[in-house]
Amino acid sequence: RWLRQPGWAAVVTLAMAAGPSPPLEPSPLPTFPEEGFGEKFLRKTRENPVVPLGCLCTVGVLTYGLLSFKKGNTRRSQLMMRARVVAQGFTFAALLGGMVATAIKSRQ
């Protein structure tokens, strides 16, 4: 009954005038060659070599700080924990810089 009202006839007419319905099958997605962990790591390192360097620096400072803590040298341990925060900040800044550079490169 409610389909027989004049307002619904206009909706159905507009829907029919819009053209054919879109296909039910989605378009196929592009395929990319398989890339293993090693290849991806090397590619990303070549794109932004400062990030792995910052990670290695952070791990080195952290290890040295933990060894100093274990030996009882609290002054050097605290200094290394502060240096670790600086190294992490450097790594984060390098990561952001790489993302910005990639975004600018992809726009061109």
Output the tens digit of pLDDT for each of the chain's 108 residues.
Answer: 555 555 555 555 555 555 666 667 777 777 778 888 889 889 888 888 889 999 999 999 999 999 999 999 999 999 999 999 999 999 999 999 988 988 888 887
Helix/strand/coil for 47:
helix
Q: What is the pLDDT of residues 76-93, one digit of tens each?
A: 999 999 999 999 999 999
pTM greater than the 0.85 cutoff: no
Predicted local confidence at residue 74, as pLDDT? 93
Report how far residue 26's alpha carbon sits from residue 43's, in angstroms, rounded to the nearest whole number. Answer: 32
